[in-house]
Structures are given as C-alpha cells and as structure tokens.
Copies of this chain bind each other. A is one copy, B any other.
C-alpha cells in the first residue's frame, strides 16, 4: 500500500502566477518522505544518531501536470521504486483533492552517507524495513 500524506498550499508557497512554485512540490515530497521514515517500525528514527548516516539527494525529477493554487488540498502518494546497496529511490504523485487530477509526479533518489559525507551501505535493518513498508 502506498504511503500518503495530505498537504495544503500555503500563501507563501504561491508565486505571482497564482500557483504553487514548482520547487515546493519537491519540498512536500520530502516532507512526505520524512513522515514515511517516521512511520517505520524502528526503535529510533534519528538516522544520524542511530546509524550515523544522513540521506542526501543525488537526483530529483518532477513533471508538472496541473497547477495547485492557494488553499488547495493535495495528497502526496509515495512508493519505494528501487533500493540499491547504498541508495533509495522514492516516487511521488501529488493529487489535487478537489478534482482528483494529477498535479505533479516525480522521484527523488538519495544515498546513505556517513558523517564524512562518504557513501556507505544502507544499514540492513533499515533497508529491510523500508522494503517491507514502502510499497
């Protein structure tokens, strides 16, 4: 089952064209990703403390299909697309609630790095838990 979180377009998210700025979809995708990690059945969700890793992004992609405007509710639906030894690729859809239209869709690929910003293997239990819960 995909993971879902609902957001609403704030005034500050909009631009002079009257729509949500395109960069904000990636911010909301990431906000959904944060909640996904916190939803995992793990003893701790602070990956920096627990595993000594952070997950910087190596790639982001988004296609914009229909604008969201001030006050619009939209659902962000997330699935794990692919897991590598060191990487996680998550795919996202933003669906406008008022008409069910796809507003945007894309993916974010991140990589596990240690505190020296060196790529490292994903901890086994983390990788397993993401795999089991991410579709």
- Measured CB to CB, the residues of A under 8 A from B are 10-12, 14-19, 21-24, 26-27, 30-31, 34, 38, 45-46, 54, 56-64, 67, 69-71, 117
Q: Which residue of B lies closest to A35 (CB)?
A: B8
**Which residues of the partner chain B approach A64 to less than 8 Å between Cβ atoms?**
56-60
Are B23 and A10 in contact (CB-based, < 8 A)? no
Most chain B CB within 10 A, of A22, A57, A64, is at A22
Establish whether residues B11 and A14, one from each chain, have CB atoms under 8 Å apart when the complex forms. Answer: no
Kindly report which residue of chain B lies nearest to residue A66, judged by CB atoms. B117
In the bound complex, how far is the Cα of B105 from the Cα of A61, in angstroms?
12
- Tell me whether A17 and B60 are in contact (CB under 8 A): no
